[in-house]
Amino acid sequence: MAFLLPDSSIENKSYNGNRLVYVKNPHLDLMDEDILYHLDLGTKTHNLPAMFGDIKFVCVGGSPNRMKAFAQFMHKELGLEGDSKDMKDICAGTDRYCMYKVGPVLSISHGMGVPSISIMLHELIKLLHHAKCCDVTIIRIGTSGGLGIEPGSVVITDIAVNSFFKPQFEQVILDNVVIRSTELDQDLADELLECSRHIKNFPTLVGHTMCTYDFYEGQGRLDGALCSFSNEKKLEYLKRAHNAGVRNIEMESTVFAAMCRLCGLKAAVVCVTLLDRLEGDQITASHEVLAEYQQRPQQLIAMLIKKRLGLWYPREM
């Protein structure tokens, strides 16, 4: 049985400052302690408001190394004291995720795919709630496969869609399928696009992002261990996706958008494309080229954060 999750006052409410992070779980109020197991944190073992109460920006991405590099990059961009190489992984007690705090910025890895990012988001959102954070902006940065656009293009997602090009995420709860909206914050997307215009040689566009459940068959690749379709069928599907407005493909955006929306978080997805899937399946660019591509979303997010903190003004460029 499938049904639409009913709208609530929290989902529709308009906030003017002090936008809190909501958890929609009445059982949490009955718990003496909340153990954030996969983050190696807890409400009794850690003073979460003291540790995280000043967080205003959360950036999440798949790779632990990439998110550590982003934290070090933000340390330099914000002009913070000390050596960024000395930053400690807050989640060092677990091997599931990494987490670094850089002033008001939290950088966290989420692994690959919907299940991995979903687990991280549940505990991250509870962390922000317990820490009494407000006015938090959360952005997923990552890599993706492009559709009809040049490799190295940065896609700012306007709508996250599923494999049927629908703007929804299907969450199985007990024996029901709950359909949740994948609406993202359009003002934030517009602000990111405006920031991108101040970076030279930085191809950026706004488009739909398709989220799939795997990298190979789910994305129409011909090079996996299993494949039951022809190249013609693959191209026909990808062209239909392109015609529906899809400009890149990844594996996390729908659940990310759905969970952030339900919990009152302004959210965006910014991914660079590593190839054009209409031209092939395998990533053939050199390591150096790919490394430069992967820095592009980080550059854009750093510019947004600095602008919000009053450390950068467009007229200076």
Please report, for the chain, the start and end positions of each structural domain, with discontinuous segments joined by +. 20-135, 142-310
Report percent pLDDT > 90 for the chain. Answer: 89
pLDDT at 86: 87
Q: What is the mean pLDDT of residues 268-287?
A: 97
Given a contact cutoff of 8 angstroms between Cβ atoms, the answer to whether 284 and 166 are in contact is no
Q: The pTM is what?
A: 0.92
pLDDT at 207: 98
Length of the chain in terms of residues written: 317
94 belongs to an annotated ligand binding site: no
143 belongs to an annotated ligand binding site: yes
110 CB-contact burial (10 Å; exposed 0-12 / middle 13-18 / buried 19+):
buried
pLDDT at 130: 97
96 belongs to an annotated ligand binding site: yes
Look at residue 317 and tell me whether its pLDDT is greater than 90. Answer: no
Fold match flag (20-135 vs 142-310): yes
Please identify which residue in the block is written with the tokens 């930053």: 87
Report percent pLDDT > 70 for the chain. Answer: 93
212 CB-contact burial (10 Å; exposed 0-12 / middle 13-18 / buried 19+):
buried
pLDDT at 312: 78
Output b/e per residue, 139-161; b: 16+ Cβ within 10 A: bbbbbbbbbbbebbbbbbbbbbb
140 belongs to an annotated ligand binding site: yes
At CB < 8 A and 24+ separation, what contacts does 193-197 make? 193/156, 194/314, 195/300, 195/303, 195/304, 195/307, 196/154, 196/156, 196/300
Q: pLDDT class for 316, splitting at 50, 70, 90? A: very low
277 belongs to an annotated ligand binding site: no
Look at residue 1 and tell me whether its pLDDT is greater than 80. Answer: no
pLDDT at 47: 98
CATH architecture, domain 142-310: 3-Layer(aba) Sandwich (3.40)
Domain 20-135 indexed as CATH 1.10.630.10? no
Give me the chain's average pLDDT, please. Answer: 93
The per-residue pLDDT for range 97-108, each reduced to its tens digit, is 999 999 999 999
| Max avg pLDDT among 14-23, 75-84, 98-107 | 98-107
